[in-house]
Structure 1
Amino acid sequence: MLVHRKSHIFQKPQKSWHQLTKILPTSAKQIDSLRCSPKYTLTPLIGPLKTPSARQNFDNFHKRIDNSRCFQKRVLMPVKILMPALSPTMKEGTLAKWLVSEGEKIEAGQVIAEIETDKATMEFEAVDEGVLGKILIHAKTAGVKVNEPIAILLDDGEGERELEEFLSITDKPTITDNKAETPNEDKIKSNPSSLPCEKQQDRIAATPLARKIASINSIDLSLIGSGSGPNGRIVKNDLLKLLDSAPQVEMPGHYTETSIPISPMRRVIAQRLVESKQNVPHFYLSVTCYLQHLLSAKKKFYDCLETKVTVNDFVIKACAFALDKNPAMNVSWEGEFIRQNQTIDISVAVAIPDGLITPIIFSADKLSLSSISDKVRELVDKAKMGRLQPREFQGGSFTVSNLGMYGIDEFTAIINPPQAAILAVGAARKVPTVSGDAIVVSDVVTLTLSCDHRVIDGALAARFMQSLKKAIEDPVIML
């Protein structure tokens, strides 16, 4: 916002317009010096610019002002702080906590709030410095739309007056043409039934107690007609008689229910899984793997290296091995094309109180088993505390979902678009098997692969499962 033309000018006190034109600066640098000098103040220009030379001098001065970088700085004005979009799928979120208070000075890059997105709780940093003038959305408010104003940022020198003026301007309702929706007053007067229900109820003669009983029981007083009170006034007894005469509905049994608000994360999970099931043609392959050698290697890791690894860590490593052997499985459906992923980034499904999140083990094929184990533990801890960063859970080319710790023998999982496959891991269990002519007890696990048939054919998925089974049953080949 620049100085209004022909209405204001930087003027030195006790200097006439004629004197001022003689000392006009001739460069942007000089204008900057003039602007910042305490000797000059912004005052109304007294008297019209009558002579052509005066008007020409004023215009030249104003052109130099327009080109000055000093006048291109932001004019003091409050700024709205908007709800940020902290993930590609985020449409709304929960303002979990404010970390600054009204009136507190904040710096650019300072964390001012915590936002619960559809994936995790994330920190929100200020992009500009100033003073937090007013909080518009308070902490623990859910369903805040992206780009909705959540606070007002004041600049240095601004106060309550500027804040009130700003709010009065921004809060003014938009004027729209409502003539088509406005009822004709003459028609309303001639036809009382066209009035809203509340207006009709107000015109019915009834005692305040009768109105309250009618409101609680959703009774339309206009249907009662004349009451038993003076001049046909509806009284309490009229309502009680009406309620007593109503047929009683016998309830099948006493029960209670509670409405649970839908969190942003749960809403997005629901939308994505419905989209996946409706649009992605799933097919499934299952295989049972023997765990004798894997469990032996797991014990040696702990005994020799004092490294605690889990069966799931072996499965993640085996998936990376199988994807490397079958790169056509490492793809994503993008609608108009198929993306061939160049790195093997495996997402690991983690259950958290509000839903499910899938942190990523990047370049899993290049990591050792112990590195995968350490990374999984780190990501699981961060996920449960809601401290994952977007780069740690957005993307991935293949997902592993394990419910074995809950004693689930086998299950099928829903693909996480745009990925093309997900592996469901069941519990390690003992089963009787035939070894030669003898029946022995063996440790086994059932793995079920869900595939997107648009990009993965049955034969390709079968070859992947063969490679996966070999790596699980003989882990030496992948270590």
Structure 2
Amino acid sequence: MIALSPTMQDGVIAEWIAEEGQAVKPGDALCEVETDKATMPYESPVSGTVLKIVKAAGQTAAVGEIIAVLGKPGEDWAAVIAGATPVAERPAAGPSAGVTSTEASFPALGPIEPTVAAPAAPPLSAPPAAPRASTASAPSSPAGASPSSPAGIPPSSPLARRLARDGSVDLRTLRGSGPHGRVVARDIMAAAGKDTVNADAPKSAAPGGASIGMASRGLRDERVPLSRMRSIIAKRLGDSYSEAPHFFVRAAIDMERLLELRAAVNEGRDKPIGLNAFVMKLTAAALERHPLVNASWEGDAIRYRPAADIGLAVSLDAGLITPVVRACERKGVEDIDAELADMVARARSGALKPEEYADASFTVSNLGQYGVEEFTAIINPPGSAILTLGAVSKEAVVRGDAIVARRTMRVTLSSDHRVIDGAVAAAFVAELKALLEEPALALV
């Protein structure tokens, strides 16, 4: 098992696609592995026969463990394992890089590349995302987008979705036999009356695991095992909240000028630029002026970051992910918005690369589309601060001697007190408030 993300320590075999005794060739899907962020297909790097499945579906394999053995028909799989050296790191490019075996052409399956990360693979078209199950636990928040697939579509594996499209099978008519009701390849084959899987069909990445659509479930007494992503989210946020002394600074922002600017920029555009892009751009400007906030705690040192690498919390079927727009201070709102749209779509299809959601220096979380006025969030390491955005709504505001209605948004900055002092956080929020209320100040 290789590490499919920077923080991955192990993964769960979600489903075996290949069977023992089955002949495979390079690119054939062998199994699907549920990591901390997505369920990804493992593809065979070589031609051979599946001699032994070492880790069964549902079992956890640590990074570096062997999950299966490929070899020649009749070859002693135990001898292959005995002579293999598990690899814990991603191999270099090439079909046999990092692969160990008694014969180089038939490796033990530790270092098989996932589809979405294979350096030589062509870009894959993402299947429609499964319906979203929004989570309320901070710092999770959707990026302001609605679910990209119709309601009623059950969670499904990448191969199942591909087979369903190829065979014109309606996923909404199926009851999944996989973990947590997940539709897997055998369900599609049964519905289509097929006995075999087309292993040559292109493979697509899938969302991070089974989702629980609480709005449609109704009240019931049920114990649902944690998905891999939910387990990781629980651990990381628990660690963050227990290790980092959080404190919070709040402000109410007059959004009239920024919303007028956004309307002017979007005039005549087929695809309007989202509010998140404007907020991230102006946040980057504030971080440039207050670099002490753009920092990371590293135990015996504080690392001050050279660029505003801002993450945006996005909800997935199984939890949340934080795509990162690098160096926002050097990009325009159009570029930021385009990157966000691309990464959010790929995040929801499971095709986001690990380096695209890691190492944010600052995070933004927006629950405003749900009508939430304000909320606090847990810091997303390695950053030391996270900014939450509430809904924009009209409020009565005193202007001179008059009371007027102004579109207002409430924000909260959660900070790590080990890195950021109260006065530093307050000065940053004051700067951000000034920039959001008068965007032209970012030009000064």
2:32 is equivalent to residue 132 of structure 1: no
- Does residue 151 in structure 1 map to residue 68 in structure 2? yes
CA change 1:94–1:360 in 2 (3 A) is: same
Equivalent positions of 1:341-380 (< 5 A) are 341-380=305-344
Give the structure with higher Rg (CA).
1
Identity percentage over the alignment?
A: 40
Aligned to 1:417, the other structure's residue is in SS state coil
Higher relative helix content: 1
What do the CA deviations read for 1:148-183 (whole angstroms, capped 9, x no partner)?
A: 4321110xxx3225347768999xxxxxxxxxxxxx
CA-based RMSD of the aligned residues comes to 2.5
What is the CA-CA distance between 1:129 and the residue it aligns to?
5.2
Deviation at 1:275, TM superposition (A): 0.9
Deviation of the 1:96 alpha carbon? 3.5
- TM-aligned CA distance change 1:345 to 1:148, over 3 Å: same
Task: Using CA pairs under 8 Å that are at least 6 residues apart, name the structure with larger relative contact order, 1 or 2.
Answer: 2
Structure 1 residue aligned with 2:25: 106
Instruction: Give the match for residue 49 of structure 1.
Output: none
* 8 A Cα contact 1:332 1:397, kept in partner: yes
1:160 aligned onto 2:74: yes
Deviations 1:399-458 (A, max 9, x none): 001110111100111011221100011110111111222211110001100111111111
Q: Determine helix, strand or coil for the equivalent of 1:443.
A: strand
Mapped to 2, the partners of 1:165 and 1:469 lie a distance apart of 66
Deviation at 1:297, TM superposition (A): 1.1
Determine the structure 2 residue equivalent to 1:282: 246
Retained in 2: the 8 A contact 1:143–1:264? no
**CA offsets 1:78-136 (integer angstroms, 9 cap, x no match):** xxxxx2221233233232355655432333x7764432210123343545554333334
- Please name the residue that 2:435 is paired with: 471
State the one-letter code of the partner of 1:446. Answer: R
SS at match of 2:40: strand
Query: Aligned in 2, Cα 1:168/1:88: closer, same or farther, shift over 3 Å?
Result: closer
Q: For the Cα contact (< 8 Å) 1:307–1:370, is it kept in 2?
A: no
Note closer, same or farther for the CA distance 1:367–1:98 as it changes in structure 2 (3 Å cut): farther
Deviation at 1:304, TM superposition (A): 4.1
2: distance between equivalents of 1:326 and 1:397? 13
Paired with 1:137 and 1:264, the residues of 2 have a C-alpha distance of 16
Deviation at residue 374 of structure 1 after TM alignment = 1.1
Question: Partner of 1:96 in structure 2?
Answer: 14
Q: Which amino acid aligns with 1:143?
A: T
What secondary structure sits across from 1:119 in the alignment? coil
Contact 2:23–2:47 (Cα < 8 Å) also in 1: no
- For 2:7, the aligned partner's letter is T
1:105 and 1:265 map into 2 onto residues whose CA distance is: 30
Q: Work out whether residues 398 and 419 of structure 1, in 8 Å CA contact, stay in contact via their aligned partners in 2.
A: yes
Alignment of 1:291-310 (within 5 A): 291-310=255-274
In structure 1, distance between residues paired with 2:327 and 2:49: 44
Offset at residue 369 of structure 1 (A): 0.5
Work out whether residues 39 and 350 of structure 2, in 8 Å CA contact, stay in contact via their aligned partners in 1: yes
Change (3 A) 1:467 1:96: same
TM-score normalised to structure 2 length: 0.64
Say if 1:159 and 1:446 are closer, same or farther in 2 by CA, change over 3 A. Answer: same
Cα distance, 1:318 vs. partner? 1.2
CA distance in 1, matches of 2:413, 2:345: 27
The alpha-carbon deviation at position 338 of structure 1 amounts to 1.0
> Cα distance, 1:314 vs. partner?
1.4
SS at match of 1:426: strand
Residue 338 of structure 1 contacts residue 455 of structure 1 at CA under 8 Å; is this kept in 2?
yes
Structure-to-structure mapping, 1:30-429, within 5 angstroms: 83-98=1-16, 100=18, 102-107=21-26, 112-126=30-44, 130-138=48-56, 141=58, 143-154=60-71, 158-163=72-77, 257-429=221-393
Question: Structure 1 142/471 Cα, relative in aligned 2: closer, same or farther at 3 Å?
Answer: farther
Q: Is the 8 Å Cα contact of residues 284 and 451 (structure 1) preserved in structure 2?
A: yes
CA distance in 1: counterparts of 2:77 and 2:292, whole angstroms:
59
Q: Deviations over 1:205-255 (max 9, x none)?
A: xxxxxxxxxxxxxxxxxxxxxxxxxxxxxxxxxxxxxxxxxxxxxxxxxx9
Q: How many residues align?
A: 308
1:478 to partner: Cα distance: 3.3
Within 2, Cα distance between the matches of 1:398 and 1:415? Answer: 9
Please, what TM-score do these two structures have when normalized by structure 1? Answer: 0.60
* SS across alignment from 2:383: coil
Letter in 1 for 2:324: I
- Give the AA of the match of 2:32: E
* Matching residue of 2:405: 441
SS class of match (1:262) = coil
Q: Give the secondary-structure state (helix, strand or coil) at the position aligned to 1:373.
A: helix
Deviation at 1:335, TM superposition (A): 0.7
What amino acid is the match of 1:149?
I
The reply to whether residue 459 of structure 1 matches residue 423 of structure 2 is: yes
Gaps of 5+ in 1: 1-82, 171-254
2:350 alignment partner AA: G
Q: Structure 1 pair 161/316, CA: closer, same or farther in 2 (3 Å)?
A: closer
In the aligned structure 1, how far is the partner of 2:80 from the partner of 2:292? 58
1:323 offset after TM fit, Å? 0.7
Q: Distance in 2 between matches of 1:256 and 1:443?
A: 41
Q: Which amino acid aligns with 1:325?
A: R
Query: Quick one: structure 1 residues 97 and 452, their matched pair in 2 at CA, closer, same or farther if it must change by over 3 Å?
Result: same
CA distance in 1, matches of 2:82, 2:242: 48
Question: 1:308/1:142 Cα in 2 relative to 1: closer, same or farther (>3 Å)?
Answer: farther
Query: Does structure 2 conserve the Cα–Cα contact (< 8 Å) formed by 1:286 and 1:449?
Result: yes
Give the corresponding residue for 1:8: none
Q: In the TM superposition, what whole-angstrom CA distance separates every residue of 1:350-375 from its partner, at most 9, and x where no partner exists?
A: 01111111110011111110111111
